[in-house]
Structures are given as structure tokens and as C-alpha cells.
Amino acid sequence: MSGSVNGENRAEPNLTPMLDMVFQLITFFMLVINFKSASLDLSLKLPVIGSAQPLDTQGVEDMLILNINNQGQLLVYGAVTPLENFLAKEARASRMKLPPADQKKADIELPTSVIIRADKGVSFKDINRVFTECQARGFRKFSLKAFNMEETSA
Amino acid sequence: MRRRKKRGAGEVELNLAAMLDMAFQLLTFFILTFRPSPIEGQIALNLPPPIAVTNVNQVRAAAGTGGGDASVVPGTGTLVLTLHATPDGKLKDLVFGARPLLRGPIDRGGLSLLNTELENLLATPAGAFDAVQLHVDPALDYETFLSIMVTCSKQKTPDGKPLEKLSFVELKSK
């Protein structure tokens, strides 16, 4: 069966339902997109600890995420970065968030929480160096990231 | 202002094809950049600057109550757990105070035994310890260290409060 298309009798599909559906899909992806995950190195194999629970800080807490690979190196957006320089820079930035009167106090506790995402194979020596460096710069609050069940994709 | 009357013959039709093209491009971008990240839990720690460890024997001696009765000066000592590692980072043994408690890589059973021992020692009203310090081999892997530390952090003091004084130090390399 063949049909000719001419100027007088054109068959035009109704694109409106398709556009509706596409907009709904766009809305879904816009809502679930998480730009924060760019700072998380998903190649790390986190330790598995049954009692590790997601903690909701209601978005009010300032966080510094440190990705540590199994060699004990700090990864920032996938690139190996010297830990000392990075922490010094972040500590300066965190200190600026303190009230002006407290900014010059040497032993003041910084308001930033350090989130450590370390590979499960990293040695204690390397992870202890991270803690020590952070403490030396005034960071006191730490969170250690872990899966609470074995990742099937890992 | 009066609205214009719609004219049946000269109806304005929007060209939806262009909008659909753009919408598909946006959709493609979002699909390609979509990476669902796994849900991660976390263990919160508050690590103040290092302070001197209380030695229960010294406290007992200072109180003039030497001897073996640990209940004389309750809640003043630090329980030391020493963790030795094999060269590949697994747990070699765990020394509980001065007593060897576990040998070989740690598993659920080992953690359960450690939990029981800690409960028996820390939660009793006459307990001599109010703090736990881990002496950790530098070669020990992070997962083993973390699982032991979490077991310790779940302990309670005799008054029912969570154990807060938990610290760790690195053993000197051999």
C-alpha cells in the first residue's frame, strides 16, 4: 500500500505526548543528578562494616572529603595530590569561617568535618598519617566512610 | 483590553520538532552523565589532641592500694589492645591487655568474642577501665583496624553511656 504526500493532505504526527514524556524524563534525571559525587572516587574499595549508617547532616555541616587509595595517596578528582599542601590550604579556608576573634587562635577546633574515604587495603601507617596531619592543622571531627554490605558491583 | 478572537482558519501551530530535538539532547546528556553512587555509611569520630594515658597500676599505687583488686579505683585506667599484623596486612594476633585473645585473620566470631570480653570488662560497675587504646601495627590493613575500632566504640561504661575515650597509636616498626 502506498500513499502520496502532497501539500494539501499532509500527515503530521502529534509530537505533544512525546515531548511531555521527554520532559518528564529530563525532570527525573535533573532531580537525581548529584554533582557532589564528582568529588567521590568511586574506584576505591571501601571497607565493609555492618554498623556503618548514612549520617544526615541536613547540609549544614562543612565537609572536607579525602579519598585515600590503597597506596596511602590522596586523590583529588582522580589525581594524586600531596596531602600536606592540600590540608594546609583547606585548613586556611576553614579557619576563615571562624569568627574573626577566633581565627588567630593556634589551637582552635576548625568547624569542618573531615570525611575519610579510604581503600580497605590501605595500611594503618598511611591512614594514621592522614589523621595526624589533620589533627595538626586543627581538624577534630572525622567520619570514616564504609559500606554496610558487600558491594556486588565491586 | 479585549482578547483577540481565535480564527479557525488561521490557527497558529507551534513547531514542536525543534523543541523535541533540544529536549532529546538534554535527555541524552543526563542519561550519559547519570552515575548512581552507592549508599555509604559512616563512623563518626571526635579526635581531640593527644593526652597522657592513665596507667591503672600507677593510679592504684598513688592511692596506696597496690595489690590485685581492680575494683579499688574504678574507671580510671586505660585498657590497651595490641594488634599485630602479618606482612600482607592481615591480623596476626590481638593481645587483650596482657593476654593473647585472638590469632589469625579476624572474622565475625573473633569480633563477637572481642565484644563479649570488652563488655565483661567495661560494663561492670567495679570495672577499672574507662578508656580503650589500640596499639596498632603499622602494616595492619584499614578494614581490620576499622572493624576492631567499631567493636570498641560500641561499648558502654557502667553508667550506660557510650564509651567515649577511644584512641589509637601506631606501634613502632620492627
ipTM value? 0.72
Query: Percent of chain B, pLDDT > 70?
Result: 76
> Chain B contact for A142, CB < 8 A?
yes
Query: Is A28 a domain residue?
Result: no
DSSP 8-class letter at B47: -
Query: Is A24 a domain residue?
Result: no
Residue B2: is its pLDDT beyond 90? Answer: no
Do residue A125 and residue B139 have CB atoms under 8 angstroms apart?
Answer: yes
Query: Is A44 a domain residue?
Result: yes
Do residue B44 and residue A118 have CB atoms under 8 angstroms apart?
Answer: no
Give me the residues of chain A with pLDDT under 70, please. Answer: 1-8, 36-39, 52-53, 55-60, 149-154
Residues of A in contact with B41 (CB under 8 A): 49, 51-55, 145-148
Smallest Cβ distance to A47: which of B31, B47, B143? Answer: B143
Q: Which of A154, A120, A152, A149 is nearest to A52 (CA)?
A: A149
Query: Is A33 a domain residue?
Result: no
Instruction: Tell me how far apart the alpha carbons of residues A35 and A4 are, in angstroms, rounded to a whole number.
Output: 51
Query: Is A25 a domain residue?
Result: no
Q: Are strands B77-85 and B91-96 parallel, antiparallel or unpaired?
A: antiparallel
Query: Is A17 a domain residue?
Result: no
Instruction: Tell me how far apart the alpha carbons of residues A46 and A154 are, in angstroms, rounded to a whole number.
Output: 10
- Residue A64, domain extent: 39-144
Task: Give B57 or B122, the one with higher predicted confidence.
Answer: B122
Task: Tally the domains of chain A.
Answer: 1
Query: Is A26 a domain residue?
Result: no
C-alpha cell at position A44: 576505591
Interface of A with B in 99-128 (CB under 8 A): 107, 115, 117-125, 127-128
Residues of B in contact with A22 (CB under 8 A): 20, 23-24, 27
Query: Is A81 a domain residue?
Result: yes
Task: Give B7 or A124, the one with higher predicted confidence.
Answer: A124
Give the per-residue pLDDT at A87: 92
Distances in Å between the Cα of B97 and the Cα atoms of B37, B80, B135 are 41, 5, 10
Give the per-residue pLDDT at B14: 78
> Chain B contact for A152, CB < 8 A?
no
